[in-house]
Amino acid sequence: MRQAIAYAVDREFITKALMRGVAKPQRSPIIESSPFFDETIEPYDVDLDKANALVAEAGFGDGMELTVDYLPGVDEQQKNVAEYLKSQLKKIGIDVTVRPSPDFPTWAGRISGHDFDMTMDVVFNWGDPVIGVHRTYLSSNIVKGVIWSNTQSYSNPKVDEILNAAAVEVDPAKRKALYTEFQRIVAEDMPVYWINASPYHTAYDKRLGDPPLTIWGPMSPMDEVYWKEPKE
């Protein structure tokens, strides 16, 4: 069913129409600008015939009902896509109810408490997959009550083995091979459907010295930032 849902969703429409071309499609848990991204990974391009066949194969040819939650306050990246899922998944017999949350704590409580069918989310890779990717897929990180852990309760011993090995591997080529295997497994298991990568930009005054230009952006320590000339 997760694969069926993936084949029913049109990333190109979401990124070009709903997000007005600002975001780029994403087909892997590892950001496509990362040296560990597997460029050969096959995308789930929209294919309603294949999606309907998978739904029938899964035994839900007569239809099913699901809810989808979304992060409040980010309509362009969250609510609009959730509403799109409602209309799009109807085409493969899934009746989706969009469940809004009045505030972030409500959404976080539902998701971290595993009280959901599907949810929209935003996760960060950060500077290394160990920091930003492992937390979503390691079975050891299924921690109820903790948001941005493995909230979908995905458990695959092979994935655990690969990620634990990649965390301590010092050879870049071997590490890339491990992450390639990981990406191909989760692309088939599909515990998370990756839609888009959101661009982030740092704006700063040209009179500032040592502005934060690394991947951490304005979340970097600001102890070395200074005014090169007095601010008016």
Instruction: Write out pLDDT tens, residues 109-118.
Output: 999 999 999 9
Confidence at 232, pLDDT banded by 50, 70, 90: low
Is the pLDDT reported for residue 231 higher than 70?
Answer: no
Across 9-23, 70-84, 134-148, 204-218, least confident range: 204-218
pLDDT digits (tens, 9 = 90+) for 130-172: 999 999 999 999 999 999 999 999 999 999 999 999 999 999 9
The verdict on domain 2-199 having CATH code 3.10.105.10 is yes
Instruction: State the pLDDT at residue 135.
Output: 98
Alpha carbons 221 and 117: distance in angstroms, whole number: 38
Residue 63 has pLDDT above 80, yes or no: yes
The predicted-structure confidence for 164-213, as pLDDT tens digits, reads as follows 999 999 999 999 999 999 999 999 999 999 999 987 778 888 899 999 88
* Coil, helix or strand at residue 111: helix
Q: What percent of the chain has pLDDT over 70?
A: 99
What's the pTM? 0.88
How many angstroms separate the CA atoms of 158 and 80, rounded?
35
- At 203 the pLDDT is 86
- Are β-strands 118-119 and 196-197 bridged in parallel, bridged antiparallel, or unpaired? unpaired
pLDDT at 202: 80
Domain ranges of the chain: 2-199, 204-232
Q: What CA–CA distance (Å, rounded) separates 50 from 151? A: 28
